[in-house]
Structure 1
């Protein structure tokens, strides 16, 4: 499914930060296990599996 860029509240409750590079965060949902990348302004830029998003974050 395509990503729809949307504002987030930063993931304080349901999301665990698993990587942070220059303010870009890779977060994993504590309940469902899916991941997302949010930018320094807390906008979701991508979502999906952890392995793919780790690689995407490294390429930013």
Structure 2
């Protein structure tokens, strides 16, 4: 997940949506996925969920 943050920061991404989590359990807090990305990316991060709609 650290590489995701580095790549998003270098690319100037405004909002990063994380998806296709492994193991994919809904009981895992979003922060589990977001925290390692936040170490390298300062923008908005969304932990995507099935059927989630995101306005662009």
TM-score in terms of structure 2 length: 0.29
Q: Which has the larger radius of gyration?
A: 2
TM-score, normalization by structure 1:
0.28
Indicate the structure whose relative CO is greater, using CA pairs within 8 Å and at least 6 residues apart.
2
Structure number having the greater helix percentage: 2
